[in-house]
């Protein structure tokens, strides 16, 4: 993330209100830009296609199909995302960039094989009653999306944030254009546009990766070698993505859900408030990224530089205290900005729902979902700090607890009834956030001891 921090610090050097605002905007665009582009793109397809389609239900089927593709691809590739990120970082730190591209090709080959096999089995079994064109497009979309996440992880690791944003802009522009042009074909036409746009997006990412890196050999399996791999990162990536989506799946396949197409189900009661709530976390993402990449990273780098250059104990403790204070300030900034967003939803949520044509009956669930989404940003921030401190075991424990609690508490709320919906997800996040803050404080207290005395994997 050093490239992002450098750009943000350069903006903030102007020391003016406008430069501060631009830094927040820049951080928000780079952290949430792809998310916004994907949401806007899928919504535009629905809005533009609605008057043109004989069967409007096809638009709902398309949006639900795409949601499942995104969820499944994120969960599956979660097993290699963090593993690959760490591998890239370590090789670049060792100044061995020629080891990177062959490993990327290996990860893509494994991702394509696994998702292709799983997708084919599902197409033959669970989707056997759907059209051949639909099944082929879903299979292609699953494989392409999974490879897109791998490409994004790679480029984020080498600080190519602007290019990621550009690729998403072009990819979703083409997605919207082709989906609208092909909507006369119904559901298959909409999915065809989605696949074409994401194929263009993936092609742009792959071309950029090959342009930036060169290697004398095409493929290397070093990324999966036990000498370089960290098994805990496999489970962390898998568990975190599973935890984020688990409550959604439980609502989809409970009595609150309804069948949309084939085995795919959706829950109107739960999905709409969750969708709006996730749009409300963009300010928190921007604030955290800005504070993390300017204040915390500077003190973090100074701390380890002082240790490497033989600084005195007093110097080390002063810098450590500055680093701890900046970390706490970053989390506090998230709380402040998300508290403002939450209060706005509490005050004007009913007006927002009426504006977009949704019943105000969704308001209670929207309120708790906004709180839950805000807690998720806090949880993500806490996990980031643990990764900087290389406390992988702690991250693994927290994500495992998150999955278990989210599943258990969501099941309880489904049993208790509509008045408690959303509290399972929020309760699970509140617990892991409080536990994470407590463990993070303990880590900071023993940071010098851990740095000097504990050199094994933690």
Identify the CA nearest to 198 among candidates 264, 132, 160, 146: 146
Q: Which pLDDT tens digit goes with each residue over 270-300? A: 888 888 888 888 888 877 777 777 777 777 7
The DSSP line for 245-271 is HHHHHHHHTSTT-EEEETTEEE-HHHH
Domain positions in the chain are 2-229, 275-453
Place of tokens 């979902």: 369
Q: Cα(49)–Cα(176) distance, rounded to whole angstroms?
A: 10
pLDDT of residue 268: 83
CB atoms within 10 A of CB 361: 10
Q: Cα(206)–Cα(216) distance, rounded to whole angstroms?
A: 17
Q: Cα(154)–Cα(381) distance, rounded to whole angstroms?
A: 21
Where the chain has pLDDT below 50, the residues are 1-3, 455-458
pLDDT of residue 452: 62
Burial of 218 from C-beta contacts in 10 A (0-12 / 13-18 / 19+): exposed
pLDDT of residue 144: 96
pLDDT of residue 326: 85
By the 8 A CB rule, do 92 and 209 touch? Answer: no
By the 8 A CB rule, do 365 and 422 touch? Answer: yes
By the 8 A CB rule, do 36 and 282 touch? Answer: yes
Q: Cα(256)–Cα(197) distance, rounded to whole angstroms?
A: 33
β-strand 258-261 against 264-266: which pairing, if any? antiparallel
pLDDT of residue 457: 45
pLDDT of residue 24: 63
By the 8 A CB rule, do 151 and 202 touch? Answer: yes
By the 8 A CB rule, do 435 and 401 touch? Answer: yes
């Amino acid at each position: 993330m050093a490239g992002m921090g450098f750009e943000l610090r350069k903006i903030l050097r102007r020391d003016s209100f406008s430069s501060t605002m631009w830094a927040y905007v820049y951080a928000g665009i780079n952290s949430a830009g792809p998310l916004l582009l994907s949401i806007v793109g899928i919504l535009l397809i629905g809005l533009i296609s609605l008057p043109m389609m004989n069967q409007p239900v096809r638009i709902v089927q398309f949006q639900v199909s795409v949601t499942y593709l995104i969820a499944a691809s994120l969960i599956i590739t979660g097993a290699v995302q963090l593993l690959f990120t760490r591998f890239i970082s370590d090789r670049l730190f060792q100044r061995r960039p020629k080891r990177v591209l062959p490993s990327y090709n290996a990860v893509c080959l494994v991702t394509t094989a696994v998702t292709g096999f799983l997708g084919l089995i599902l197409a033959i079994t669970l989707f056997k009653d759907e059209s051949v064109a639909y099944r082929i497009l879903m299979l292609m979309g699953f494989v392409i999306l999974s490879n897109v996440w791998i490409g994004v992880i790679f480029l984020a690791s080498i600080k190519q944030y602007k290019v990621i944003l550009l690729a998403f802009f072009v990819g979703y522009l083409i997605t919207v254009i082709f989906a609208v042009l092909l909507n006369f074909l119904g559901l298959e036409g909409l999915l065809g546009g989605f696949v074409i746009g994401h194929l263009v997006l993936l092609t742009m990412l792959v071309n950029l990766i090959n342009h930036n890196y060169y290697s004398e050999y095409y493929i290397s399996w070093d990324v999966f070698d036990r000498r370089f791999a960290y098994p805990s990162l496999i489970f962390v990536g898998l568990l975190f993505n599973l935890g984020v989506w688990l409550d959604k799946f439980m609502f989809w396949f409970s009595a609150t859900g309804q069948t949309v197409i084939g085995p795919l189900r959706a829950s109107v009661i739960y999905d709409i408030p969750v969708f709006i709530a996730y749009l409300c976390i963009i300010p928190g993402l921007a604030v955290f990224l800005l504070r993390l990449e300017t204040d915390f990273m500077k003190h973090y780098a100074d701390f380890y530089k002082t240790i490497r250059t033989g600084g005195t104990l007093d110097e080390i403790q002063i810098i450590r205290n500055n680093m701890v204070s900046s970390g706490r300030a970053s989390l506090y900034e998230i709380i402040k900005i998300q508290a403002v967003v939450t209060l706005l939803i509490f005050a004007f949520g009913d007006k927002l729902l009426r504006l977009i044509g949704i019943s105000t009956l969704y308001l209670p669930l929207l309120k708790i979902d906004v709180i839950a989404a805000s807690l998720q940003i806090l949880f993500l921030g806490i996990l980031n700090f643990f990764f900087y401190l290389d406390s992988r075991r702690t991250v693994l424990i927290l994500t495992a607890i998150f999955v278990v609690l989210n599943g258990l508490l969501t099941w309880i709320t489904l049993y208790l009834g509509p008045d408690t919906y959303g509290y399972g997800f929020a309760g699970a996040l509140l617990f892991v956030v409080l536990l994470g803050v407590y463990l993070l404080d303990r880590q900071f207290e023993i940071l010098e001891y851990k740095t000097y005395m504990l050199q094994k994997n933690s």
